[in-house]
C-alpha cells in the first residue's frame, strides 16, 4: 500500500485549478496538472508564511487576514501555472503576467459589483420603495442585504457551473477534498482509499465565504449606523461611502470567519457547531462534483509532492 512521507499530521489545504490541483502545507506547495497529451506537469515550491517570520501576525483575528491574502497569491500563481500548461499545448505560448494580472483585477471588480454593490443598492431600493420601510440603522436592512448576497452567490455558482471548463474545475475540487480526507484519516494515499471519502469538506473556502456572509450581517448592523448622517437620511452618495466601508470591513470579517472555521472544524462533534457548518457543506454540492479516478490521481500527486517537500525541509 502506498504511504505518504513520514511527517506529522499537518494542516494541508488546496485549490482546484485548470485540469489540476494545488496543495499547500505550512512550508511547501505543489501544483499538478494533466496536460492535453496525458502527461503530468508538476511545480514544487518551498513556501513559508510571512506569519512564521512575523510572529505577531499569528495572533487570533490577524492570522485569518494573512491566510486569506496568502491564499489569494498562491491561488493566482497556481492558476497561472495551470493556464500556461494549457496554452503551451494549444497555442505554443504562455500567458503573460500582465495579462493574468488584468484578468484578476477585472474579476475582483466584478466580484465587488456583484457581491457588495448590487445587493446593497437593491436592499436600499427595497427599503425606500418596497413594502418594508427600513433604513441602514435597522437590522432588517443588513439581514436582507445578507440574503441577497447569498442569493447572488448561489446563482453565480450555478451559472458558471454550466460552463464545461468550470465543471471540470469543480470535479478537481472534489478530488482535492477526497485526497485531503485520505491524508487526515492516516490511510495510504491511493486512489482506491481517497475515492471512498466525501467530496464535501468543512474547511473548504465555500464554507468560509458563507461564514463571512453571516458574520457580515451582525458586524455591518453594528458599524454602519455609526456613519449615517444625523437624521438618518441617506442618499445614493451616502450609500456609496457605506459600500466602501463594507469593502474595508472585509478584512476583519475574514479574521472572524477564519477563527470560527478553525475552531468549528476541530469540534465537529458538537451539535451546534456541526449545524452551523451545514450550510457551507450544502453549498459545496454546487462547487464540487464527483471526480474521476484520474482526477483523484492528480490531486494525490500534488499532495504527495507537497508532503515530500515538507519532509525534505526537516521538522521544526
In this predicted model, what pLDDT tens digit does every residue of 63-122 receive, in sequence order?
878 888 888 888 888 888 888 887 665 554 555 556 656 766 777 788 889 989 999 999
Strands, sheet with 13-17, edge to edge from the N-terminal-most edge strand: 13-17, 20-25, 28-34, 40-46
As a whole-number percent, the residues of the chain with pLDDT over 70 amount to: 90
Instruction: Report the domain count for the chain.
Output: 1
Give a yes or no: residue 108 inside a domain: yes
3-state DSSP assignment of residue 41: strand
Q: How far apart are CA 120 and CA 84, in angstroms?
A: 37
- Region 21-30: mean pLDDT is 93
Sign of CA dihedral 50, 71, 76, 173: positive
Q: Which of 30-39, 229-238, 269-278, 289-298 has the highest mean pLDDT?
A: 289-298
Contacts of residue 139, defined as CB under 8 A and 6 or more positions apart, other chains included, come to 217, 221
Give a yes or no: residue 69 inside a domain: yes
Position 259 pLDDT exceeds 70: yes
Give a yes or no: residue 8 inside a domain: no
Give a yes or no: residue 2 inside a domain: no
Position 4 pLDDT exceeds 50: no
β-sheet bridge partners, residue 29 = 24, 45
24: domain range?
Answer: 13-312
Please tell me the predicted confidence (pLDDT) of residue 303: 97
Give a yes or no: residue 289 inside a domain: yes
β-sheet bridge partners, residue 62 = none
3-state DSSP assignment of residue 45: strand
Give a yes or no: residue 194 inside a domain: yes
- Region 232-237: mean pLDDT is 72
Distance of CA 48 to the CA centre of its chain: 19
Residue 190 exposed, middle or buried by CB count within 10 Å (0-12, 13-18, 19+): middle
pTM for the structure as a whole: 0.85
Please tell me the predicted confidence (pLDDT) of residue 104: 67
Amino acid at each position: 500500500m502506498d504511504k505518504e512521507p513520514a511527517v506529522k499530521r499537518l494542516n494541508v489545504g488546496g485549490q482546484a485549478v485548470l485540469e489540476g490541483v494545488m496543495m499547500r502545507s505550512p512550508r511547501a506547495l505543489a501544483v499538478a496538472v494533466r496536460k492535453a497529451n496525458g502527461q503530468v506537469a508538476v511545480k514544487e515550491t518551498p513556501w513559508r508564511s510571512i506569519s512564521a517570520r512575523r510572529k505577531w501576525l499569528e495572533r487570533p483575528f490577524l492570522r485569518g487576514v494573512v491566510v486569506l491574502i496568502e491564499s489569494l497569491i498562491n491561488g493566482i500563481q497556481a492558476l497561472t501555472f495551470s493556464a500556461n500548461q494549457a496554452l503551451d499545448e494549444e497555442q505554443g505560448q504562455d500567458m503573460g503576467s500582465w495579462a493574468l494580472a488584468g484578468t484578476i483585477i477585472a474579476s475582483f471588480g466584478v466580484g465587488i459589483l456583484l457581491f457588495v454593490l448590487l445587493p446593497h443598492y437593491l436592499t436600499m431600493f427595497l427599503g425606500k420603495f418596497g413594502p418594508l420601510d427600513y433604513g441602514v440603522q435597522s437590522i432588517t436592512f443588513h439581514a436582507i442585504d445578507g440574503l441577497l448576497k447569498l442569493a447572488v452567490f448561489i446563482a453565480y455558482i450555478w451559472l458558471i457551473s454550466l460552463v464545461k471548463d468550470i465543471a471540470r474545475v469543480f470535479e478537481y475540487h472534489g478530488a482535492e477534498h477526497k485526497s485531503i480526507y485520505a491524508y487526515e484519516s492516516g490511510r495510504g494515499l491511493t486512489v482506491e482509499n481517497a475515492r471512498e471519502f466525501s467530496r464535501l469538506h468543512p474547511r473548504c473556502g465555500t464554507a468560509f465565504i458563507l461564514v463571512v456572509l453571516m458574520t457580515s450581517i451582525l458586524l455591518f448592523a453594528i458599524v454602519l449606523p455609526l456613519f449615517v448622517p444625523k437624521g438618518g437620511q441617506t442618499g445614493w452618495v451616502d450609500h456609496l461611502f457605506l459600500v466602501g466601508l463594507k469593502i474595508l470591513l472585509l478584512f476583519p470579517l475574514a479574521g472572524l470567519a477564519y477563527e470560527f472555521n478553525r475552531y468549528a472544524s476541530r469540534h465537529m462533534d458538537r451539535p451546534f457547531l456541526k449545524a452551523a457548518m451545514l450550510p457551507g457543506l450544502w453549498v459545496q454540492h454546487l462547487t464540487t462534483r464527483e471526480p474521476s479516478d484520474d482526477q483523484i490521481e492528480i490531486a494525490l500527486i500534488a499532495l504527495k509532492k507537497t508532503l515530500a517537500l515538507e519532509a525534505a525541509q526537516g521538522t521544526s
